[in-house]
Amino acid sequence: MATQTGHLKLTYEDYRLIPDDGKRHELIDGDHVMSPSPTTKHQRIARALLTALTNFLRDHPLGEVFIAPYDVVLSDFDVVQPDLVFVTTAQADIVTEANIRGTPTLVVEILSEGNRKLDETIKRQRYEHYGIPEYWIIDPALDQVKIYRLTEGRYGQASVLSLEANDLLTTPLLPNLNLPLATLFTSSSPQQPAPPK
């Protein structure tokens, strides 16, 4: 993770001038933050979660889910690209042709060693600041999901779900969603070839 520091804050207009180099570029309180492209396990988890949420939302049309790279413009100085974003039908007006402009209902970040501090500390503070109701941090190294829910304007202690405990991922934002963590983490393992007959 590389950060551009200085007294002059960058804006969304500055951000739009950054060339597309395959890396994730974001603005955090006016500072340019860059993360390397994600790992294979990260991508498999993102795909599994996107598939599960897309299937759920097809049967329960509560909103729309988006996947990175996709800008979420929280302000002129905070432009992020969460791994997944959920926006309820009631908030559909924040979804524009180019990006999301405003506060989504749920954001999801999948950790990698290069972005752990960014996602667990810096982004969590910014998401709390902007009042995002729920924030999930998926940890591929530990096979865990941390869930932060906004209560009285603050994220309380995270609920920690683990594959080892056979936990189900649920949220009041998506009633009737009961997603086994095995769906995320076992699908992130390489597929074994079928044994010869």
Q: What is the pLDDT of residues 2-58, one digit of tens each?
A: 444 556 899 999 999 999 887 889 999 999 999 887 889 999 999 999 999 999 999
Residue 29 lies inside a defined structural domain of this protein: no
Q: What is the pLDDT of residues 105-151, one digit of tens each?
A: 999 999 987 788 889 999 999 999 999 999 999 999 999 999 999 99
Q: In this structure, how many other beta carbons lie within 10 angstroms of the beta carbon of residue 133?
A: 20
Residue 177 lies inside a defined structural domain of this protein: yes
Nearest to 99 by CA among 46, 27, 167, 166: 27
> Which pLDDT belongs to residue 37?
79
Residue 194 lies inside a defined structural domain of this protein: no
Q: What is the CATH number of the domain that holds 63?
A: 3.90.1570.10
State how far the Cα of 54 lies from the Cα of 96, in Å rounded to an integer: 20
Count the domains in the chain.
Answer: 1
CA distances from 17 to 10, 32, 72 (A): 11, 12, 16
> Which pLDDT belongs to residue 118?
87
Residue 180 lies inside a defined structural domain of this protein: yes
> Which pLDDT belongs to residue 21?
83
Average pLDDT of the segment spanning 153-162: 94
pLDDT of 77 above 50: yes
> Which pLDDT belongs to residue 187?
62
The alpha carbon dihedral of 146, 110, 171, 98 has a sign of: positive
Residue 22 lies inside a defined structural domain of this protein: no
Residue 153 lies inside a defined structural domain of this protein: yes
